Amino acid sequence: MRYMLVAGLAAVAAVPAFVLSGTEPAKAEWAVNATAIEACSCPMFCQCYFNSKPAAHGGSGEHHHDGSQHFCRANLAYRINKGHYGSTKLDGAKFWVATDLGGDFSKGEMDWGVLYFDKALSQAQRDAIASVAGRIFPVKWQSFQTAEASIDKWEITPTGAVALMDGGKTAEVRLRKFQGMTGEPVVIRNLKYWGAPRNDGFIMAPNEVEAYRVGPKAFEFKGTNGFLITIDLNSNDFAS
């Protein structure tokens, strides 16, 4: 997700790839501050931020010469702390991205993604989030869909975090904060997160489980990468 990924973003068309034709709301002044509970299949810390391909994994499927396959299968659960899109309020709105970045994203193209809107969101909020998500993820997808679910738990505690879709039947992320030398969290700073221009650092928190449990692309991993991060972006950050 970062070094080669971010380099690839510059080559992608300026139109946000997340926005489906006919769904983008009218251009408006907007601002979003959001926190993600995030986990993926890579070991700690996700090498995608520094390489053009994810970590190698053993198993069946599309193999490489060493008998492994490269993928980054992830769950990204967001809660907007404070935000608006024109007159549409987004405070407290939740959305979720389930994805696989594929085996090589050096050209800014990912394998597949599903953007889930929380069932509690209005249509105006969904349209706004789709537009903002296109700025967070300015990439191309081989396959991309939207869906809805009940994001019925999204909680950060002193020891970790939990996010559930449909009580965990659709997706689940459970993180435990990594213990540093002191009681303060271990944080990676000065590292870009996707297309967001600002973040407060990656708080290290390996997952106890990260699972996507519906459809033919379901997956589940335990003890792999996880972190918490708060991002900040607004319409003034983008030229169009």
Q: Indicate the residue type of 11.
A: A
pLDDT at 52 (0 to 100):
81
pLDDT at 21 (0 to 100):
37
- Tell me, what DSSP letter sits at residue 203? E
CA distance 200 to 122: 29
pTM score: 0.87
- In the chain, beta strands by DSSP E: 30-40, 56-58, 68-70, 73-85, 88-89, 94-100, 109-118, 140-149, 153-157, 160-165, 171-176, 187-188, 198-199, 202-204, 207-212, 219-221, 226-234
CA distance 146 to 134: 13
Task: Please count the CA atoms within 13 angstroms of the CA of 54 that sit on its side-chain side.
Answer: 26
C-beta separation of 171 from 164 below 8 A? yes
| Element containing residue 181 per DSSP (H, E) | none
> pLDDT tens digits, the chain, 240 residues: what are they?
333 333 333 333 333 344 443 445 557 899 999 999 999 999 999 999 998 889 887 654 333 334 578 899 999 999 999 999 999 999 999 999 999 999 998 888 999 999 999 999 999 999 999 999 999 999 999 999 999 999 999 999 999 999 999 999 999 999 999 989 998 999 999 999 999 999 999 999 999 999 999 999 999 999 999 999 999 999 999 976
What distances in angstroms separate CA 200 from CA 2, 70, 121, one per listed residue?
16, 29, 26
CA distance 51 to 221: 21
CA distance 127 to 240: 17
C-beta separation of 146 from 176 below 8 A? no
CA distance 54 to 104: 7
